[in-house]
Amino acid sequence: MSETAPSSLASRALRVLLLGFLGLVAIFIEIAPIGFTPHARPSPDILFAIVAYWSVRRPGSTPVMLIFGLGLVRDLLADVPVGAGTLALILVVEFLRTQGATLVRQSFFIEWATVSMVAFVMISIQFLLVALTLAQPPFASALLYQGLYTAAVYPAVALVLRWVLRIGWRTMGRRGDDRRGPPGLRIGGRA
């Protein structure tokens, strides 16, 4: 082990804790009453937007047990069938984690479009799981609005996480080395 291994482990632990904290904040924002009428629009899935960005940019800092815990807390607090949202969140986050190295090589627009499509897939999985449990699934129009709002909020979440909290790809190589990105990718140069 090198001298930087303990500090690397500590920084990873801090990133995992930060993800957990931001996930809990997102859950509480999502369950806050926005409208008091029965026809109030659903809120965007901020938890998904945070976890999606994080799993693409820092896949090693998104442990599945943390995602499971955040999903379970949201399911319990949002009074939805327990496990449906959690399973859907884990499935799409694992998919995004496998696509992360490919997505960061593309423009942000491609990443945004991919994450938006994955958000709609996640909502569809939740709808199907709730329907399979014979519970009353939400209206399709409400799910459509939630998907659109989630897609619309993703760039803002990405902006805050990238430029305010500095969550991006780890710097590789020696200090002062300008390589950033997934292994084998050099920004502004060849791999």
Q: Which residue has the higher pLDDT, 45 or 177?
A: 45
Q: For residues 161 and 131, give the distance between their C-alpha atoms in angstroms, rounded to a whole number.
A: 35
Q: What percent of the chain has pLDDT over 70?
A: 81
CB 50 within 8 A of CB 22: yes
Domains of the chain by start residue, with CATH: 10-31+41-164 (1.10.1760)
Q: For residues 113 and 111, give the distance between their C-alpha atoms in angstroms, rounded to a whole number.
A: 5
pLDDT tens, position by position, 141-162: 888 898 999 999 999 999 999 8
pLDDT tens, position by position, 96-138: 999 988 888 888 999 999 999 999 999 999 888 888 887 777 7
Neighbour count for residue 42 (Cβ, 10 Å): 21
pLDDT tens, position by position, 75-85: 998 877 888 88
State mean pLDDT over 54-65.
90
Q: Phi, psi (5° rounding) for residue 42?
A: -70, 155
